[in-house]
């Protein structure tokens, strides 16, 4: 069935109660973000330092939108980072779109090193605007793309421009699949003979040694070229559909096999490099020469994410050795990898969860042995901000060190390489975003909580003392408009000991004498934690869009919550490992206990009527709740779900579900378990989703039909991965979600939208 630009199938039939929700109620919720977003001033976002270390540039709220400001750390004065009106005009001219000066379409930017231009991301593309004549242009993508980082797109030529040696006397490129070199102005000479179309040298991997005597490169055995095909049913430029293709490796597919090769350029010979230490790669980082030209190094991660090594290859003998070896019985989290070489690799700083918590270690680069565990304790290192080699100190952020605080709050610390002199540089009970100056003498601390608007302060790293208060948010107008911060709530998880953290959002007209159905905003991806910890409820920063979306839904008569159950990141390794080969778990045993704990304290919390909604991994989680826990979860709205981990991208799924593909993939599959459905799902998918193969949704549909199940489906022609999840005032998918929960969880009738006055759509 076709309704305008929306295709609907398998509609549920509800028996609603008398109408209680008006068009105005739903329109108000859909428009909540836009009606609130302009009601704050001086809300600062984390920024960056200029290359000279003098200026700190950041974004903040002002009446009418957002201003980009640069603070001069020497003079203490602020100035506009650039002319926003001129930039809006220039960008509009370049894109054909219209932009308001105070609502530019990017949230962050960076100055180029000379300060004469800025760069930023727009619609996932890189852009650059000059600040002299205000001309904007998209930055061309250079090089050969790799699908999810593991399979080169051989349909796009690699950048084979000659790579010049540091001394300017030589250059190298790939010729007939082999490495060729020449003196500048001389004749090319091939110095490899083992390259072929099935085992070729990658010109983009060529790196010269600092002394210009040697070079290294990867020889590549290409992986499987899996193509996902989609149909664009309603292209803007023609009547007939168009076929769309995407290189999209999936779990189990063969990936590119990169093998390092070394060459003595002057002698024109190739060194033999034994490959036993890196025989089954999933990921090989860029080849890096040590400063003394004595060795070249890289990080090798083995297929399956259970073994990683920092490998160093001797530039004279070609012999490799492991400077660091990391092993795990479950998974090594590739997203938290950190490695820093000291003194030409004689020491290596490495991040590891080997003691059950994410910490920093100092390795002997020659023997591969741990010299010192730099950080230690029942808390996690979040990120390394800077390594000060001269003082042998590390600046880093960490969570969970302060007793009595939310363990997800991030703080800033300094520590010596030997593990001594651990120094906290932040103190407020909040989440701290840090920007350290290039010379490490100053840092800007932007801190907040969901109930504490941001404060931005300039401080000295010497002792954490205050230099200047940059911004303090004013939310008085927002409070006058009825804003209320979400309420944090903590309950014990499945083991009876571990604290599980979440947020509660109530209707703004909450009546404790009433009983409210409950909706959980779910996202249980193991790559992070997701309950917002910072203050920005309006959208698209630090998970803040979840807050305004939750409030929009709550105002229609629900209590809306969000929870981080076991299996998510930023707690102990054991907490995280619950997800290993077990994506279907999604922390549900912890979530259900959390819900029951809230209900025990709050009679208005009706756990006989609990629903879910989520997108992407959250879409999979939503369906999993209905399939595996139907006694608790009754209805769900799943956006763009990766319902079967065998159908989704290789990178995310093999990280948590392992390799080779085994029965655990089926056990978590929404396709193989569709027959279990008892509740009521609505699935929303964009037919042009480039993140999750849309066929993942359609395979669930097929399984549900074969099982004679009833469900709702909304397919949006031309829609992408985020379709239906915004809170814009005219978003069809969001309105569909509201209607679905009102009909099927609250038992309320919603407006007859087809009776609403309408006009033909614009051409």
Q: Which parts of the chain have pLDDT scores under 70?
A: 1-19, 539-545, 725-730, 763
Neighbours of 15 (CB within 10 A): 7
Q: Give the strand pairing for 605-615 and 516-521.
A: parallel
Q: Per the structure block, which two tokens stand in for 763?
A: 């051409």
Sign of the alpha-carbon torsion through 306, 312, 318, 319:
negative
Nearest to 337 by CA among 322, 320, 346, 324: 324
Helices of type H across 403-475: none
pLDDT, tens digit (0-9, with 9 covering 90-100), for 106-132 = 999 999 999 999 999 998 899 999 999
Contact indicator for 363, 384 with CB cutoff of 8 Å: no
Neighbours of 54 (CB within 10 A): 15
**Buried b / exposed e along 315-328 (16+ C-beta atoms within 10 A):** beebebbbbbbbeb
pLDDT, tens digit (0-9, with 9 covering 90-100), for 557-570 = 999 999 999 999 99
Residues 6+ positions from 363 with CB-CB distance below 8 Å: 310, 323, 324, 347, 348, 349, 350, 369, 370, 371
Nearest to 610 by CA among 601, 645, 199, 598: 598
Q: How many whole angstroms separate alpha carbon 534 and alpha carbon 465?
A: 23
pLDDT, tens digit (0-9, with 9 covering 90-100), for 641-694 = 999 999 999 999 999 999 999 999 999 999 999 999 999 999 999 999 999 999
Neighbours of 19 (CB within 10 A): 11
Please tell me whether residue 457 adopts helix, strand or coil conformation: strand
**Buried b / exposed e along 121-159 (16+ C-beta atoms within 10 A):** ebeeeebebebeebebeeeeeeebebbbbbbbeeeeebe
Question: Which residue(s) pair with 189 in the sheet?
Answer: 181
Q: What is the dihedral of CA 512, 748, 23, 684, to 10 degrees?
A: 110
Tokens 């609990």 belong to: 610
Burial class (CB in 10 A: 0-12, 13-18, 19+), 708: exposed
pLDDT, tens digit (0-9, with 9 covering 90-100), for 65-103 = 999 999 999 999 999 999 999 999 999 999 999 999 999
pLDDT of residue 761: 74
Contact indicator for 739, 733 with CB cutoff of 8 Å: no
């Amino acid at each position: 069935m076709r309704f305008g630009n929306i295709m609907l199938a398998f509609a549920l039939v509800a028996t609603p109660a008398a109408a209680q929700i008006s068009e105005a109620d739903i329109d108000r919720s859909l428009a909540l973000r836009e009606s609130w977003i302009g009601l704050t001033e001086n809300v600062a976002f984390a920024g960056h330092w200029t290359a000279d270390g003098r200026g700190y540039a950041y974004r903040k709220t002002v009446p009418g939108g957002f201003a980009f400001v640069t603070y001069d750390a020497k003079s203490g004065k602020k100035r506009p980072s650039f002319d926003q009106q001129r930039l809006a005009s220039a960008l509009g001219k370049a894109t054909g779109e219209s932009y308001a000066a105070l609502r530019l379409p990017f949230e962050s930017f960076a100055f180029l090193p000379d300060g004469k231009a800025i760069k930023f991301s727009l619609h996932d593309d890189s852009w650059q605007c000059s600040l002299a004549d205000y001309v904007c242009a998209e930055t061309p993508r250079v090089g050969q793309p790799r699908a999810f980082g593991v399979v080169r797109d051989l349909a796009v030529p690699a950048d084979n421009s000659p790579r010049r040696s540091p001394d300017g006397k030589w250059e190298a490129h790939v010729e007939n699949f082999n490495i060729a070199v020449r003196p500048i102005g001389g004749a090319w000479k091939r110095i490899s003979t083992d390259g072929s179309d099935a085992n070729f040298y990658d010109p983009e991997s060529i790196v010269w040694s600092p002394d210009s005597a040697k070079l290294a490169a990867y020889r590549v055995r290409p992986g499987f070229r899996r193509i996902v095909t989609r149909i664009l049913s309603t292209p803007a430029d023609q009547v007939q559909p168009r076929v769309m293709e995407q290189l999209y490796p999936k779990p189990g597919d063969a990936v590119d096999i990169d093998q390092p090769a070394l060459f003595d350029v002057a002698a024109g010979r190739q060194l033999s490099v034994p490959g036993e230490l890196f025989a089954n790669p999933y990921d090989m980082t860029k080849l890096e020469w040590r400063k003394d030209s004595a060795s070249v190094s890289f990080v090798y991660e083995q297929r399956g994410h259970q073994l990683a090594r920092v490998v160093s290859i001797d530039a004279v003998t070609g012999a490799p050795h492991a400077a660091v070896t990391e092993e795990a019985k479950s998974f090594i989290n590739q997203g938290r990898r950190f490695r820093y070489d000291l003194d030409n690799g004689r020491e290596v700083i490495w991040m590891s969860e080997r003691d059950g918590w994410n910490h920093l270690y100092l390795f002997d680069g020659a023997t591969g042995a741990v010299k010192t565990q730099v950080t230690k304790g029942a808390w996690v290192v979040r990120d390394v901000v800077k390594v000060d080699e001269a003082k042998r100190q590390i600046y880093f952020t960490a969570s969970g060190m302060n007793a009595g605080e939310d363990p997800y709050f991030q703080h800033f610390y300094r520590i010596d390489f030997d593990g001594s002199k651990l120094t906290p540089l932040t103190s407020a009970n909040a989440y701290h975003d840090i920007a350290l100056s290039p010379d490490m003498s100053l840092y800007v601390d932007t801190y907040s909580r969901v109930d504490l608007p941001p404060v931005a302060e300039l401080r000295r790293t010497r002792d954490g003392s205050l230099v200047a208060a940059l911004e303090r948010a004013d939310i008085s107008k927002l409070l006058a408009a009825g804003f209320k911060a979400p309420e944090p709530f903590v309950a014990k998880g499945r083991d009876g000991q571990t604290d599980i953290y979440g947020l509660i959002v109530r209707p703004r007209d909450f009546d404790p004498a009433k009983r409210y159905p409950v909706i959980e905003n779910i996202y249980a991806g193991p790559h992070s934690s997701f309950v917002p910890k910072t203050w920005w409820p309006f959208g698209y920063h630090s998970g803040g869009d979840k807050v305004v979306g939750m409030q929009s839904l709550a105002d229609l008569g629900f209590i809306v919550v969000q929870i981080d159950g076991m299996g998510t990141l930023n707690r102990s390794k054991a907490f995280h490992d619950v997800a290993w080969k077990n994506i279907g778990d999604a922390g549900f045993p912890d979530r259900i206990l959390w819900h029951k704990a809230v209900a025990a304290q709050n009679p208005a919390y009706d756990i006989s009527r609990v629903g879910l909604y989520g997108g992407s991994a959250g879409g999979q989680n939503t369906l999993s709740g209905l399939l595996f826990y139907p006694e608790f979860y009754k209805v769900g709205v799943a956006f763009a779900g990766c319902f079967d981990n065998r159908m989704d991208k290789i990178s995310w799924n093999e990280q948590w579900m392992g390799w080779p593909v085994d029965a655990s993939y089926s056990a978590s599959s929404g396709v193989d378990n569709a027959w279990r459905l008892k509740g009521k799902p609505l699935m929303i998918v964009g037919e042009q989703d480039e993140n999750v193969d849309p066929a993942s949704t359609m395979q669930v549909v097929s399984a549900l039909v074969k099982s004679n199940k009833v469900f709702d489906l909304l397919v949006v022609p031309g829609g992408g991965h985020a379709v239906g999840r915004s809170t814009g005032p005219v978003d069809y998918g969001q309105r569909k979600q509201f209607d679905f929960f009102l009909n099927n969880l609250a038992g309320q009738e919603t407006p007859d939208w087809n009776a609403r006055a309408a006009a033909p759509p614009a051409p």
